[in-house]
Structure 1
Amino acid sequence: MRTDFGDLVIDRAIVHVVPQRKRADPDEPIPLSEAPCNLNDAVRTALQARLRSVLAATGREVIEDPDSRSALPDRVHSFLSGEINLVDVSVELVHLLRNSQSGVNSAGLLLVAEAHLGHQLSLLIVKLEQETGMQATETFVDGLRTFDMKYLADLLFTEKSKIHKVALFPEDGIGDERIEGWAADRQLSGKMAVFFLERFLGCRQKNEPREVTRRFHDVTTEWINSYIADPDIRINYVMATLAELQSPAPSLDPVEFAQRHLDLLHRDAFIEHLQQSELPCRTFDKDIHHLETRLNNMRVCFASGVFIVAPVDAIGDQQVLALEDQGDGTTSVTITGTVTTATAYAPPGGRRRSQSREPSHHSQVENHESAPSANE
């Protein structure tokens, strides 16, 4: 899937005011637009630029959830199939949005636009929040109610962006059973509010965060061990992978990861390997739930069958565990520390017998073997 939206073009747009849903009066009438806005070139250009940026930065691939009760996927399918026009689909969507929200969601605007993504007809849905004290100006065109887009531009293009939620569904994303597209939630740093993603859009993320995070770890370490020959570089790359996954950042951009941590000559091969492994090469939400027990330690294996399991911090500390390339395809490992115990080793699930020894004050172990493999 694409990583930018530079060819997104808005053809026509309709804006509806969405009042706050009051629990005591859920059927409060909505002042519906009956005609598209007057989009002048300046407003269209600025709006397209802002939406392209939002989708590129925080957009996530979404797919229709077959268990959802939302009618939105059917409405999107009907519009992109030519069965319903822009005005009518926008009216249905504003009611769906209102019903999916609770009393805590503030009043705002819903922009529904006929757009093109490249050559693909698309439906663009944008939830906006108005500036305090401002309201879109109601006007009439040929006797039909609409809202003045020139005034709306004042709400959109302030220093504080008021574009909060976006969804984009292209024509090539509709199928007999499901629709696919992109969604972005500016308020949750890449993740999406449940009411917006599930209740309103009737979708789920195509790349489930826990699974895609686990696969990024596995595929990246596989590439490092199969493509990188230098043992020092190999270990540095694995350590960078573990550090990136453990960082507090809520998302991970593989291209940015490659630019920050990989040598220039290795970046293209890494991205190509991700693509061949069917992993997203654009930002995804990170969830290390399946990896937590695997990120604290690194296992370094040698051709002889000898291996070392050590905390990542220890491998990065030359005074504790030092690996030195001997220049002939072998590596010297020096471990400095106090010996506390020695145990017989069995594979996971096997039985172990322990032999306690009196701790010594200082010991060093060296092993000269072929270059290590940084498999976790």
Structure 2
Amino acid sequence: MAINHLDTSTIIIENIIVHSIPRHKKGDFSIEPEYSEQESSLPDGLRVFFKDKVIQSLQSNKELRVCYDVESVSPVSTYINQIISSNGADFVEQSKLMTKYLFEIQDGQNASGILVVIFGKINNQNACIIIKLERDEGAQLELDPKTKSFNIKDVKDLMLTRKTKIYKVGLFVDKSVFKIKYDGSTADLQIDPKTKKEVTTWFIEKFLGCVPLADPRTTTKKFYDFTTTYIQSIEDPIKKAKYTQDLNSYLQKNSHRISAKEFADDYMETSDKDLYNRYLKEKNFRMSEFPKDNSFINNKIKTITMIFANDIAIVGKKGTFEKNVKLEEQNDGTTKAEIVSKVKSVR
């Protein structure tokens, strides 16, 4: 039976581990993270405490659904998926790799931190939860000399005395099991995604390597609008007409996923492709693929209209313009359009 949503009330915490990240200058590797070498013991009271904190964060207005960004250099998604797919067998090592990466990308502006990694269940399916906390400079965590690990109870005590608090939470699953379009839910308690048109957060994008889940209708429309604007900036009217036809055809292909890169590679000349790539980067629009949904642009991509300076217009439907209209650039800068066909109607 397919599961199509994440019910945070069903979260079960099975394993938990704590690592400490000292404040350091970027590139200063004379300081290193302090790793726990084994999981922390977890009495029922602590399970409930951390489950409640995760639920509170993910049910707040800060919650944001995210997908792994295929263009990201962050390896964290690999570590998360290894924990989930191995049923937690590689939990300790993968959590240490996450901590190492977080330490490496932080700079002197980041406060001392604590990374809590959890393996557990949601809707009775494997899940990985990451909690990043910032702590006061005077707040200390002590490694147990016997276990060479931090005790999660000490983290709770720091939170209760307000010497540290949850700033960022991420919960991840295998989306194919849940039949959902996103990889996880996050909450960065230092931002409010509901009031922002574009959400940019260091934790989500640089560390986790994720991007916010976007409505395919909106993303497809943005692709169409940005690409159309770029095409309109091209001076050559014949090339402009060709690219417009190509864009309309590309969007009407029998494909569930599209990308700006594929469109540029398949239809554009090299010089135009490079400028197009640069233009989309300026607009913060990705070149990688995304789900296609033409709902917002269906009426725009079914026809192409060419209007001449003498107020003559040619309107063609999909595939008919290129086949039936011959365009030829003249020496004086004008364009000759030739149509050979029977007149169907005049109105």
TM-score normalised to the size of structure 1? 0.51
**Distance (whole Å) between structure 2 residues aligned to residue 162 and residue 144 of structure 1:** 25
Residue 86 (structure 1) aligned to one of 91, 95, 98 = 91
> Is 1:62 aligned to 2:66, yes or no?
yes
Residue 158 (structure 2) aligned to one of 155, 158, 178 = 155
Aligned to 1:166: 169
**Distance (whole Å) between structure 1 residues aligned to residue 143 and residue 164 of structure 2:** 22
**Distance (whole Å) between structure 2 residues aligned to residue 174 and residue 165 of structure 1:** 25
Q: Which runs of 5+ in 1 are unaligned?
A: 216-376
List per-residue Cα deviations over 1:325-373 (Å, max 9, x = no partner).
xxxxxxxxxxxxxxxxxxxxxxxxxxxxxxxxxxxxxxxxxxxxxxxxx
**Distance (whole Å) between structure 2 residues aligned to residue 28 and residue 209 of structure 1:** 44
**Distance (whole Å) between structure 2 residues aligned to residue 189 and residue 126 of structure 1:** 18
Q: Which runs of 5+ in 2 are unaligned?
A: 223-347
Contact 1:4 1:52 in 2 (8 A): no
Aligned to 1:205: 212
Deviation, 1:103, is 1.8
Deviation, 1:156, is 2.3
**Distance (whole Å) between structure 2 residues aligned to residue 188 and residue 209 of structure 1:** 24
**Distance (whole Å) between structure 1 residues aligned to residue 96 and residue 177 of structure 2:** 21
**Distance (whole Å) between structure 1 residues aligned to residue 72 and residue 86 of structure 2:** 24
Residue 12 (structure 2) aligned to one of 9, 21, 26 = 9
Aligned to 2:112: 107
Identical-residue share of aligned pairs (%): 29
SS at match of 1:114: strand
> Is 1:194 aligned to 2:194, yes or no?
no
SS at match of 1:33: coil
Give, as a single letter, the amino acid of the residue that structure 2 aligns with 1:122.
A
RMSD: 3.1
Q: 1:1-376 maps to which residues of 2 (within 5 A)?
A: 2=5, 5-23=8-26, 25-57=28-60, 58-82=62-86, 85-140=90-145, 143-158=146-161, 162-172=165-175, 180-190=183-193, 194-207=201-214, 211=218
SS at match of 1:6: helix
**Distance (whole Å) between structure 2 residues aligned to residue 68 and residue 24 of structure 1:** 21
List per-residue Cα deviations over 1:103-145 (Å, max 9, x = no partner).
21111100011111121111110001224522123214xx431
Contact 2:83 2:119 in 1 (8 A): no
Number of aligned residue pairs: give it. Answer: 211
TM-score normalised to the size of structure 2? 0.54
Contact 2:136 2:164 in 1 (8 A): no
Give, as a single letter, the amino acid of the residue that structure 2 aligns with 1:133.
G
Give, as a single letter, the amino acid of the residue that structure 1 aligns with 2:100.
H
Contact 2:116 2:130 in 1 (8 A): yes
Change (3 A) 1:97 1:208: farther
Change (3 A) 1:200 1:34: same
Contact 1:62 1:183 in 2 (8 A): yes
SS at match of 1:139: coil
